[in-house]
């Protein structure tokens, strides 16, 4: 079982969407998905636009509650996928050891497009080389609905590439 945690700033827009969507797409026997925020206020509901987007994909978000990144989450996870390179910087200040298992979603999806990675161990050991080599997923929290959905759709496309890579690598592990 591989434990993957998605991280954004407030844990109400991007990372919960990534967590809940990933859970709906991947086998629970191989992967466990979670999310948190570097500056989250705990116990907040998911942003209404993220909830609406997920509902359109037949993914429920009713029980979601935000959480702040902490040592317990970090120690329990195998891979931390952040939305922006600034989250890597924030983590390096708060929890320096977390950075060794962290990568941006943009970088991970770029690897998925080019597929030079042969197995999960190679991916995890090579995170330092690819850590932030890809586009950031901007924070849409203050965007109008159309712009917000554009960001979330871009996130979903990058997530689909990443999930395909993780699925392939889990079979080869």
What's residue 160's pLDDT? Answer: 97
From residue 151, how far is each of 35, 78, 107, 113, 140 by CA, in Å? 18, 26, 16, 19, 7
**Stretch 5-15: mean pLDDT:** 98
DSSP 29: T
- Token code pair at residue 42: 């705990």
Question: Could you read off the pLDDT of 116-166 as tens digits, one per residue?
Answer: 788 888 888 888 778 778 899 999 999 999 999 999 999 999 999 999 999
DSSP result, 54-103 = HHHTT---TT----B--HHHHHH-SEEEESSHHHHHHHHHH-GGGGGGEE
């Amino acid at each position: 079982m591989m434990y993957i945690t998605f991280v954004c700033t407030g844990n109400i827009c991007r990372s919960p969407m990534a967590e809940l969507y990933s859970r709906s797409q991947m086998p629970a026997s191989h992967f466990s998905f979670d999310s948190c925020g570097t500056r989250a206020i705990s116990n907040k509901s998911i942003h209404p636009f993220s909830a609406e987007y997920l509902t359109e994909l037949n993914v429920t978000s009713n029980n979601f509650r935000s959480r702040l990144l902490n040592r317990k989450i970090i120690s329990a996870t195998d891979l931390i996928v952040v939305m922006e390179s600034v989250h890597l910087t924030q983590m390096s200040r708060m929890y320096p050891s977390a950075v060794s298992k962290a990568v941006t979603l943009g970088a991970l999806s770029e690897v998925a497009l080019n597929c030079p990675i042969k197995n999960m161990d190679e991916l995890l050991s090579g995170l330092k080389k690819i850590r932030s080599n890809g586009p950031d997923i901007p924070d849409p929290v203050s965007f109008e609905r159309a712009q917000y959905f554009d960001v979330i759709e871009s996130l979903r496309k990058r997530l689909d590439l990443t999930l395909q890579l993780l699925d392939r690598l889990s079979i080869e592990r």
